[in-house]
Amino acid sequence: MTTALVIEAASAGPARGQMGASLGFHIIFACFGIAFPAVLLVVHWIGLRRGDAVALLLARRWSKVMAVVFAVGAVSGTVLSYELGLLWPTLMGRYGAAYGIPFSVEAIWFFVEAIFTAIYLYGWRHLPPWLHWWTCVPLVVSGILGAMSVVAANSWMNQPSGFTLKNGRVSHVDPWAVVFNPATPYEVPHMILAAYMVTGFLVAGVYACGLLRGRNDRYHRLGFLVPFTLAGIAAPVQVVFGDSVARAIAKQQPVKFAAMEFVDHTHRGVTEWLGGIYYQGHVYFGVGIPKFDSLLVGYSPDTKIIGWDSVPAQDRPPVPDVIHLAFNVMVAIGVALVVLAAWQAWVWKFHRRVLMTRWFLVPAALSGLASIAAMESGWIVTEVGRQPWVVYKLLRTSDAVTTAGGVPVTLVMTLLIYAVLSGVVVFVPWLMSQRWRARESPPPSGGHSPGGRVPAGSGTPVG
Amino acid sequence: MNQSWESLVVVVSLFATMAAYALFAGADFGGGIWDLLAGRTKTGQRPRAAIDASVTPVWEGNQVWIVLGFVLVFTAYPVAFAAIMTSLFVPLSLSLLGILLRGIGFAFRHEAERPRTTQLSGVLFAASSLVAPFFLGAAVGAVTTGRVRTDAVGNVPSAWLTPTALMTGVLFVATCAYIGAVYLVGDSHQRGDEEMVKYFSRRAVAAGVVTGVLAAVNMVFLRTNAAYVFHRLVTVAVPLVAVSVIAGVAALALIVLRRVWLLRVAAGIAVTAVVAAWGVAQYPYLLPGSLTLSQGSAPLASLQSEVVVMVLAALLVVPSFAYLYWLQQHGRLEVTEDSDQLQRAVAADTTAPAAPPASHGHPVVATVVVGAAVLELAREAVARVRRHDR
């Protein structure tokens, strides 16, 4: 088994590293692509409907941030379409006829998104206000439909269906069954909700930082509340929905589920482990709740759960610890975010105000980073958990990898470029906000008065 | 060869997609090339501002054509896709690097405030506008020579280090410069900036002539390196080649006559006809010599879903693009800060000492040096492989 692992690591390791890095990077920007237009649409609507200059200012500034983020998303998405072929030619050569279909649909939404982003971003000055607002609507639609098609492709890797094989080649395809494979109904909504959480909490987090620094004005409160509300609505739905996702995985990919929950052999009354590290039949440093895992999966403490011993060692995911801990991190963060959102919702219902205590604002400021961590963990669970397969039970990752040399070089390039880019993509919006603040606050004296940041009724162009 | 109509629709769509990429993204790449060649800070400020205002709103959408091309190939012709991506790993990775750096340069050049960072992202944008089309061209050239084969294992440097492939790369760069200049002539005309019309007209003529000469030279190379494609180019596809030549010559005349819209149409026809001629010349091969269209096509249902995708594209994407370009051509889109800069520059002929990018001489030299080094290394590798074979 060790030799098998070594061989696999030697052949597919760099390619997996590059794909993982590219995907992990792109997915954050994809979240913005999916959910940011909706956030924008809401503040823009408030601004137009109520003639609210502060909301309009926010919408305008967010659209500029959106442009930068979308550009990086578009480019890193193009990278992925290349990498499918550059890194996994056998996957594409053998299954492209089926697997490619959802991607083809995605190309349409990619177009719509790129085109209307430009119209919306550069249309502030010359388009009639409501027409301009409507040019953002296609972005919301294309974000959701684009996510559907791409995630459907990933679902297909987990539950390949809709085709027949003849002599190792796809001989007949049923496009509907490919796109709506058994994993699509849960993977797609799970990702879209995650995108709304990541975007909402991240944007809200920026304004929570401002509120923490005493910039308690309408601009910051609105900038906090709108995205926080959207994310706060998505969070509880996500947690409830995620529970059914886990149950579906237990049914469709029992070995992945076994790794998620440390089920080393098939048995009844399975313990639910919170945290912990698995070593030779024991879980160390974990909190175990007896029979709870069985209860969660089958609503009965005696439910039988399939362990990873049901398949030979070479068909199991390599590191159950990573999968289990990633799964735990995702669930823990999800639940914590629901609590955070519920707290603010309570205060809003009875007091109509934003919570200003540090006990709330500090976690709120961090909520965006936390939701990114949760989402990335979720992807680790689904991607590492599927190993050693790239197409579940049909094609091994080590058999799909390119025979071309040079992947280690492109891996290093990818890591370098994305590391620099991550820095820049955080730095640029920060720079923008510095510039905006410098422009609007009257020099030295007015600098510290709360509420003095945004000139009332300033409809003046920001750029 | 009796193909199903779906198969023909898909293959035509694929070539139409490539033509669209060549025209639209080609114009953007061309803009980058002229940005690179616009000279020192002061003299280059005005053309750079014009390029920026023309290209910025549309580049992201134009870049999606290549994604559409990719998904069409890997869904409809998966085996060919796998062979191309494996054999041409090096040039395709480099073209990807170009596209990646270009997008990054673009995304951030408007936001960087300090001259240093503006300059850096400007250089990224400009230099990668050379890299991406060159290596895409080299990949296309490699396919036409029939050296990309389905039975190949690992990357095949000898597939693309041929005179034809490298020449096709250079030809792609020249074509981008030509298309870019033609597009900018029209845009400058739209803005009523006569001086820039003249500026880009001169460049369009120069690039047009260079492109024509390179195309002729490449025909000579094709004759020895890509016998099948050459043969069909001078027989079956000859009407298309003729159309391209006529449209190209007509475009040169139209530049002199200042017929901006007709010029765009003529240049568009010239490029589209070349792409079509390539398609016809390769028929019925996907990979000349090793894989025909019918051998390499996906099952019918996959082709049908690509037809549906293309219909959707026609219904959703074409009108959206038309709207975007309509708005852009009618001055309804404003690349705020930069068009201010443009207006300033037009109004007072560089009054503001805004000091954006300084000398672009270094990156040009660096690009040439790095390019030469890469080629030399690759040639060394080929030589070693050949020795090894013996």
DSSP B25: I
**Residues A128-146, mean pLDDT to the nearest whole number:** 93
* Residue in A closest to B154 by C-alpha: A404
B63 in a domain, yes or no?
Answer: yes
Give the distance from residue A203's alpha carbon to the nearest chain B alpha carbon, in angstroms. Answer: 19
Contact B298 A96 (CB under 8 A): yes
**Residue partners of B6: CB distance under 8 A and separation at least 6:** B300, B303, B304, B306, B307
B264 in a domain, yes or no?
Answer: no
- The tens digit of pLDDT for each residue in B330-367 reads 877 776 544 444 444 444 443 333 434 444 455 555 66
**Residues A328-334, mean pLDDT to the nearest whole number:** 95
Q: Which two tokens stand for residue A325?
A: 């801990």
- The tens digit of pLDDT for each residue in B325-338 reads 888 878 777 765 44
pLDDT at B366: 63
B141 in a domain, yes or no?
Answer: yes
B266 in a domain, yes or no?
Answer: no
Q: Is residue A1 pLDDT above 60, yes or no?
A: no
Residue A396 backbone dihedrals phi, psi, to 5 degrees: -80, 145
Contact B96 A406 (CB under 8 A): no
Q: Is residue A300 pLDDT above 80, yes or no?
A: yes
Polymer length in residues for chain A? 463
Total count of domains within chain B? 1
- The tens digit of pLDDT for each residue in B103-130 reads 887 777 766 666 677 777 777 777 888 9
Residues in B closer than 8 angstroms to A75, CB to CB, are 63, 99-100, 103-104, 107
Residues in B closer than 8 angstroms to A29, CB to CB, are none
Say whether residue B228 is in contact with chain A using an 8 A CB cutoff.
no
Alpha-carbon distance A208 to A367, whole Å?
A: 10
Residue-averaged pLDDT of chain A: 86
Contact A81 B111 (CB under 8 A): no
pLDDT at B308: 92
Q: Which of A119-123, A186-190, A368-372, B342-346 has the lowest mean pLDDT?
A: B342-346
User: Which pTM was predicted?
Assistant: 0.86
Q: Is residue B66 pLDDT above 50, yes or no?
A: yes
B339 in a domain, yes or no?
Answer: yes
B/e letters for B157-187, b = 16+ CB within 10 Å, e = fewer, are bbbbbbbbbbbbbbbbbbbbbbbbbbbbbbb
B379 in a domain, yes or no?
Answer: yes
A:B CB pairs within 8 Å: 232
pLDDT at A455: 39
User: β-strands A304-305, A287-289: how paired?
Assistant: unpaired
Mutate to test the interface with B, among A99, A101, A105 (most CBs of B within 10 A): A101
Contact B333 A86 (CB under 8 A): no
Residue A97 is nearest to which of B61, B78, B112, comparing CB atoms? B78
pLDDT at B342: 44
B229 in a domain, yes or no?
Answer: no
User: Which of B18, B4, B25 has the alpha carbon at shortest distance from B73?
Assistant: B18
- The tens digit of pLDDT for each residue in A337-378 reads 999 999 989 988 888 888 888 898 999 999 999 999 999 999
- The tens digit of pLDDT for each residue in A410-451 reads 888 888 888 888 888 888 788 888 888 887 665 443 333 333
B290 in a domain, yes or no?
Answer: yes
Give the distance from residue B42's alpha carbon to the nearest chain A alpha carbon, in angstroms. Answer: 24
Alpha-carbon distance B152 to B274, whole Å?
A: 28
DSSP SS3 for A278:
strand
Q: Is residue B21 pLDDT above 70, yes or no?
A: yes
Q: Which of residues 46-65 of B touch A (CB under 8 A)?
A: 56-58, 60-61, 63-64
Alpha-carbon distance A194 to A35, whole Å?
A: 9
Contact B78 A100 (CB under 8 A): yes
**Residues A279-300, mean pLDDT to the nearest whole number:** 87
Contact A96 B75 (CB under 8 A): yes
DSSP per-residue codes, B108-143: HHTT--SHHHHHHHHHHHHHHHHHHHHHHHHHHHHH
pLDDT at A325: 94
Residues in B closer than 8 angstroms to A163, CB to CB, are 299
**Residue partners of A179: CB distance under 8 A and separation at least 6:** A101, A102, A105, A149, A152, A156, A162
Q: Using only C-alpha atoms, what is the Rg of chain A?
A: 24
Whole domain around residue B36: which residue ranges? Answer: 5-224+284-389
**Residues B13-35, mean pLDDT to the nearest whole number:** 91
